[in-house]
Chain A
Amino acid sequence: MAALLSPLSPSGPAAAAAPGEKGAGSRRGTRNWPFLLIVPALLVLLAVFAYPVAQTFVSAFTTPTPGTGNFAWFFGSPANVAVLTRTFSTALWATVICLCLAYPYAYLMTVASPRARAALLLIVMLPFWTSLMVRTFAWLVLLQDTGVVNGFLGLFGLGPVSLVRTQAGVLIGMVQILMPFMVLPLYSVMSGIDRRLLTAAESLGARPLVALLRVFVPLSLPGVAAGATMVFITSLGFYVTPALLGSPGEALISQFMYTQVSGMLMWGRGGAMAVVLFAATLLLIGLLGLAMRAGRRSRASAR
């Protein structure tokens, strides 16, 4: 979150420390009393997040009968497991596409003039400030069989391309919505990289591209990790976009939870799916954390 928010802070990008290194906390203060400041937020989180989530998890094991019946149901059907894997693969695709688009964009932001940088930042943030529903419906208007895109293609005699009710449509909508979550951490890290290192590499004989790939890119990896984690985790829970732009045959797990809970009153099954998604996500984050730590260690030892 710090990585996400720092570009917005008035202190400007130069002042924002690279979020990869945690500032020494003890410098700031006297005793532990500042921690009291988080108590209100913590209480709200407990009441409106921790409690219902815990109840959902409990219901997974208790509703309608105690035991692991809900999990047996979930893993007993290949279609259910396919929903889970589809959710993860969609999230992965969204992350990869976001990264490919956001990396050059964030790089441009770091080298652009302050005025151009402000404009670039505004371009990223503008859709971010628009309601998710509005944006998704806008995509529907653009992408549907009788929509703007297909109308344009029709001018050249190209037949209607199915863009909604496909995974492609879902990805287009998701990537657009998730882009700021990738651009901002990347920019925050990139703007903290000392560009004189590139000059130094070039003065030692590296060509500009090599200097970029061997010096700049490795230094930007914390931003990549932060952005990728943010985008990946957020896409796992997407509901509105796949519900509007996708098809029931390619449902993601949150849609399926909605069907089970709201349509069929199967709270236990919804809970079981939540537990499975939660566990799978934690596992992935854990693995990612381990991989990053190993990577950092090997880089440190290489120095």
Chain B
Amino acid sequence: MTDTGAHGMLSRRTLLIRSGQGLGLLAASGVLSACGGGFSASSSSGGGGGTTLTVVSFGGDYQKAQAKTMWAPYAAKNGITVKEDGPTDNAKIKAQAESGNPSWDIVVVGNDFGSEADAQWLEPIDYSVVDKSSIVDGYAQTYRVAADIEGTVLAYRSDKTGGAAPTPWADFFDLKKYPGKRTAWKSVGGGIFEIALLADGVAPADLYPIDVDRALKKLSTIKDQLIWWETGAQAQQYLESGEAVMGMVWIARAVLSAANAPITIAWDSWLSQEAYWVVVKGSRNKAEAMKLIAHMTSAGPTAEFTKYQPYGPVSKAAQDQVDPSAKENLPTTHLDTQVKVDDEWWGKNRDSVNDRFQQWLLS
């Protein structure tokens, strides 16, 4: 639950942390002994010829779309080999960085990893290679650069609201105006606290630090009408079956369910969510990795990616290259109404707030 399963991945990855760390240590000792035996990798990989980069993503259709639009064409053109692995596991990144000889080079991570707090496990992005000015403002950070711009939105059944359009997020909590069940992500940092405070009248700029008591009090007003989802598929099912009249859901699931049922996305206020590229500290192919990231965040590949996944491109120049039919529901089209989730704050406070959240769920 602490992991963002933003791509419908199992959120149980955290269970693996311990075993992941154990494996990392084992792997590390193996690699170290290999080094002692006189094994030396060519660290001068600047030329690129013959380099093998290991790229790790969330798996599924998402990773397939990335392979097709982002790294496969680049590898073919530049004569490098890209090896794929997955799914992303923050614990494995840490264990590999600590081993000093990581097998992963580039990894896609969620909002919960890669901020300044995780500096010890990551290489800083080389902005002499990656063009910072070409990236949408705020998404080129010290240790990570966004892979795509996602979002958590309010989606509603237009057939059950009597033609009216609920306003996020006040109407999510207004049972009189819009009676019926609501579905929400059962994840402490997934936006549930933010939407409660926004509905309670807090300005987006004043959200942090989160007023936990106030948020829980607001949530209590609709508690018996909330259906919690934990995987993207569940969220989609609750909306499509009509069990919920509205929900806070990931944009990709909202778009998918809108294809099967009368579902509308309210873009008046939505929460930021992204995937980020990071380079694991100690990567032997750092220079090549930066070059690949520069390519993968450029206009062509990011625009092409939107043909397969409803996530906004991070390249400023790509915004106009997006297919018009897809553009309406891309997060990047609605950046003016975006509410920024503060990853740094959650990084520091997730555990303690989660304690309160879990107790509240039980009461």
A-to-B contact residues, CB < 8 Å: 77, 79-80, 82-83, 144-146, 165, 248-249, 251, 256, 259-265
Q: A165-B227, A263-B354, A265-B17 are in contact. Are A248 and B361 (CB under 8 A)?
A: yes
A48–B182 CA distance with the chains assembled, in angstroms: 42
A200–B361 CA distance with the chains assembled, in angstroms: 59
A51 to B: closest C-beta gap in Å: 16
B212-235 CB contact bits vs A (8 Å, 1 = yes)? 000000000001100110000000
Q: A80-B362, A262-B14 are in contact. Are A249 and B223 (CB under 8 A)?
A: yes
Q: Could you count the A-B residue pairs with CB atoms below 8 Å apart for me: how many are there?
A: 51
Contacts of B358 in A (CB 8 A): 256, 259-260, 263-264
A256–B242 CA distance with the chains assembled, in angstroms: 29
Beta-carbon nearest neighbor of A243 in chain B: B230
Q: A248-B228, A264-B351 are in contact. Are A144 and B243 (CB under 8 A)?
A: yes
Asked if A251 and B361 make an inter-chain contact with CB atoms under 8 angstroms apart, the answer reads yes
A146–B12 CA distance with the chains assembled, in angstroms: 28
Asked if B359 and A262 make an inter-chain contact with CB atoms under 8 angstroms apart, the answer reads no
A290 to B: closest C-beta gap in Å: 33
B-to-A contact residues, CB < 8 Å: 1-2, 12, 14-15, 17, 181, 186, 223-224, 227-228, 241-243, 351, 354-355, 358-359, 361-363
A36–B224 CA distance with the chains assembled, in angstroms: 57
Contacts of B362 in A (CB 8 A): 79-80, 82-83, 248-249, 251, 256
A80–B354 CA distance with the chains assembled, in angstroms: 15
Secondary structure type dominating chain A contacts: helix
A273–B294 CA distance with the chains assembled, in angstroms: 50
Contacts of A262 in B (CB 8 A): 1, 12, 14-15
Asked if A144 and B241 make an inter-chain contact with CB atoms under 8 angstroms apart, the answer reads yes
Q: A79-B362, A79-B363, A256-B362 are in contact. Are A263 and B227 (CB under 8 A)?
A: no
Max chain B C-beta neighbours (<10 A), residue from A77, A144, A251, A264:
A264
Contacts of A259 in B (CB 8 A): 1, 358
Contacts of A264 in B (CB 8 A): 1-2, 351, 354-355, 358
Beta-carbon nearest neighbor of A263 in chain B: B1
Contacts of A251 in B (CB 8 A): 361-362
B258 to A: closest C-beta gap in Å: 18
User: Apart from A248-B228, A265-B14, A265-B17, what 11 extra A-B contacts exist at CB < 8 Å?
Assistant: A80-B359, A144-B241, A144-B243, A248-B186, A249-B361, A249-B362, A249-B363, A256-B358, A261-B15, A262-B1, A263-B358
A251–B361 CA distance with the chains assembled, in angstroms: 9
Q: List 10 A-B contacts (CB under 8 A).
A: A77-B359, A79-B362, A80-B359, A144-B243, A248-B361, A248-B362, A251-B362, A256-B358, A263-B2, A264-B2
A260–B2 CA distance with the chains assembled, in angstroms: 11
A256–B2 CA distance with the chains assembled, in angstroms: 15
Contacts of B223 in A (CB 8 A): 249
